[in-house]
């Protein structure tokens, strides 16, 4: 069973748990990495894609952790520097203009492109590199009107299928569709040999007429596109790895200025981490939260959260991500300010739109799902404590909330222990006539991991009694997974 590496003192700006092994963007419930915001959209509880703050924060923490653990290395090559790299659409009646110059102020070599706007036009394009370990395409551009677009062409090797990924300024109110097939329903792609399919992502119209940096993971975009066709089942979720596709070309249409430095990279960890942190800063509400725009019901709809609910797990993850962003970009105070503002909801009761429950009216708990009565999900609470501790060195209020949470954990932890495994939440305590919601083994493993994690924090704090309690409890829980049982009387 996985446990955190034994590193003390605990580093609040280190990799986040084992999130570097995550691949949020490959989850079946992620519709796509949005072309406007560069963060994932979820379809977990609603078929219409929406922004799920926990998922976005996890995406950011994952890429932060990968970035740290790869020691910020990123193999990349630069394309399009030479004018001759830029091709015009072949054999078509429309004209494609390419104008090359060097900007006096920035010193950048720039190409101005003017091409027929229609998606059937290949526009002005360069060939991408065949190196299979470089699936990220990045460039600096200025689309000069809303009819501008760019297209990445990739080839799915096994299916011999050409895939066009079109990135457009589409007016579906903020890119709500995330990614869609251009030809309607293309449910049955895989058997189609020597074919071609076309998908679109929408971009943020606010960047029109501005210089903007684009970074797309083509592996991810192709996989989410192929997963987005109608009639697909969860088990049809497409996950692609380096070598499954080959990048072919990158083309532009409409009126576009472009720095002649297209990069093809091994990863986009720092970009993705920053995108997630920026999304959080931009989308924090006046309560300091990131509300979830879809209904969430648990316990056979005995507990229902109307759209607009907050989650302690979202607040905690957000704080963990924002405090790391503050560490990387200390000159920009917005991350720290947002992290501090995120503490407010820890003191607002669930009944008032907050995330705070009080067990038996006295033991404070930060609710992943702030239902009434409380549901007391363990893993979400533990993540919220980690968030609070991550900010605690910068904010005394955060330390105070963390310590009150630790006190609650000491008191309520026994209720999750069945002597043979663990319970996911305490819904059965306040809903009458409900069996305990046993944690399946992968959640049991999460409980163990998080408890060991918090044990380590307590050790770093010199709280050795808490360390012993949490560590030994985790050890006992590991025993359960290995078939041990608590003694009976």
By CB under 5 A, name the binding residues for Ca ion: 379
Provide, rounded to whole angstroms, the least separation between the CB of residue 371 and a copy of itself.
Answer: 15
Q: Residue 72: name the closest of 64, 82, 62 by CA.
A: 64
Question: Which one, 248 or 409, has the nearer CB to Ca ion?
Answer: 409
Eight-state DSSP code of residue 342: T
Size of the site for a copy of itself (CB under 8 A): 40
Provide, rounded to whole angstroms, the least separation between the CB of residue 469 and a copy of itself.
Answer: 5
Q: Which residue has the tokens 């979820």?
A: 42
Site for a copy of itself, residues 349 to 368, rule: CB under 8 A = 359-363
Question: Which one, 127 or 415, has the nearer CB to a copy of itself?
Answer: 415
Site for a copy of itself, residues 435 to 474, rule: CB under 8 A = 435-440, 443, 465, 468-469, 472-473
In our burial notation (b when 16+ CB lie closer than 10 A, e otherwise), range 31-70 reads bbbbbbbbbbbbbbeeeebbbbbbbbbbbbbbbbbbbbee
> Residue 224 and residue 163: Cα distance in Å, rounded?
12
Provide, rounded to whole angstroms, the least separation between the CB of residue 410 and a copy of itself.
Answer: 7
Provide, rounded to whole angstroms, the least separation between the CB of residue 393 and a copy of itself.
Answer: 27
The two structure tokens encoding residue 472: 């030994």
Site for a copy of itself, residues 297 to 326, rule: CB under 8 A = none
The answer for 181, left when phi > 0, alpha when psi is -120 to 50, beta otherwise, is beta
> Residue 198 and residue 187: Cα distance in Å, rounded?
13
Eight-state DSSP code of residue 50: B
> Residue 319 and residue 390: Cα distance in Å, rounded?
7
Which does residue 443 touch among a copy of itself, Ca ion, none (CB within 5 to 8 A, set by kind)?
a copy of itself
Binding status of residue 195 toward a copy of itself by CB under 8 A: no
Question: Which one, 241 or 472, has the nearer CB to a copy of itself?
Answer: 472
Q: Which of 332, 410, 460, 478 binds a copy of itself (CB under 8 A)?
A: 410
Q: Which residue has the tokens 């970035």?
A: 67
Provide, rounded to whole angstroms, the least separation between the CB of residue 27 and a copy of itself.
Answer: 17
Question: Which one, 52 or 480, has the nearer CB to a copy of itself?
Answer: 480
Question: Which one, 379 or 408, has the nearer CB to Ca ion?
Answer: 379
Q: Residue 75: name the closest of 156, 143, 129 by CA.
A: 129
> Residue 447 and residue 240: Cα distance in Å, rounded?
30
Question: Which one, 75 or 440, has the nearer CB to a copy of itself?
Answer: 440
Give all strands (DSSP E) within 211-302, no chain letters: 212-217, 245-259, 262-265, 296-298
Site for a copy of itself, residues 23 to 62, rule: CB under 8 A = none
Interface residues toward a copy of itself, by CB under 8 A: 359-363, 410, 414-415, 417-421, 423-426, 428-429, 432-440, 443, 465, 468-469, 472-473, 476, 485-489
């Amino acid at each position: 069973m996985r446990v955190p590496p034994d590193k003390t003192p605990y580093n609040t700006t280190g990799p986040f748990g084992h999130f570097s092994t995550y691949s949020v963007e490959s989850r079946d419930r992620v519709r796509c990495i949005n072309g406007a915001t560069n963060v994932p959209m979820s379809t977990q509880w609603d078929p219409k894609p929406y922004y799920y703050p926990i998922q976005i924060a996890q995406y950011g923490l994952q890429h932060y952790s990968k970035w740290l653990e790869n020691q910020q290395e990123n193999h990349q090559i630069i394309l399009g520097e030479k004018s001759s790299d830029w091709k015009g659409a072949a054999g078509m009646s429309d004209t494609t203009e390419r104008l090359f110059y060097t900007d006096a102020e920035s010193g950048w070599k720039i190409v101005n492109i003017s091409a027929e706007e229609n998606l059937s036009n290949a526009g002005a394009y360069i060939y991408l590199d065949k190196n299979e370990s470089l699936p990220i395409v990045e460039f600096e551009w200025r689309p000069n009107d809303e009819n501008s677009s760019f297209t990445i062409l990739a080839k799915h090797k096994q299916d011999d299928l050409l895939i066009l990924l079109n990135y457009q300024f589409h007016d579906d109110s903020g890119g709500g569709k995330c990614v869609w097939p251009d030809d309607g329903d293309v449910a049955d792609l895989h058997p189609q040999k020597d074919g071609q399919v076309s998908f679109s992502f929408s971009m943020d119209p606010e960047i029109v007429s501005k210089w903007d940096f684009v970074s797309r993971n083509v592996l991810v975009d192709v996989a989410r596109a192929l997963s987005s066709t109608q009639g697909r089942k969860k088990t049809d979720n497409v996950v692609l790895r380096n070598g499954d596709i080959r990048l072919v070309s990158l083309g532009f249409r409409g009126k576009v200025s472009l720095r002649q430095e297209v990069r093809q990279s091994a990863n986009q960890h720092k970009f993705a981490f920053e995108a997630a942190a920026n999304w959080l800063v931009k989308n924090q509400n006046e309560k300091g939260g990131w509300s979830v725009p879809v209904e969430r019901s648990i316990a056979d709809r005995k507990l229902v959260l109307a759209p607009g609910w907050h989650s302690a797990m979202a607040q905690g993850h957000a704080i963990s991500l924002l405090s790391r962003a503050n560490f990387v970009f200390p000159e920009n105070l917005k991350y720290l300010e947002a992290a501090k503002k995120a503490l407010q909801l820890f003191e607002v009761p669930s009944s008032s739109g907050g995330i705070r429950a009080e067990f038996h009216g006295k033991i404070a708990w930060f609710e992943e799902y702030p239902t009434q009565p409380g549901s007391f999900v363990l893993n979400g609470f533990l993540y919220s404590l980690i968030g609070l501790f991550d900010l605690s060195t910068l904010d005394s209020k955060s330390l105070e909330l963390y310590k009150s949470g630790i006190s609650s954990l000491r008191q309520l932890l026994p209720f999750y222990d069945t002597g043979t495994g663990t319970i996911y939440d305490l819904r059965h305590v306040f809903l009458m006539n409900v069996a305990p919601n046993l944690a399946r083994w992968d959640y049991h493993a999460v409980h163990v991991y998080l408890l060991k994690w918090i044990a380590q924090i307590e050790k770093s704090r010199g709280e050795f009694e808490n360390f012993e309690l949490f560590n030994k409890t985790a050890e006992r829980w590991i025993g359960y997974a290995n078939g041990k049982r608590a003694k009976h009387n």
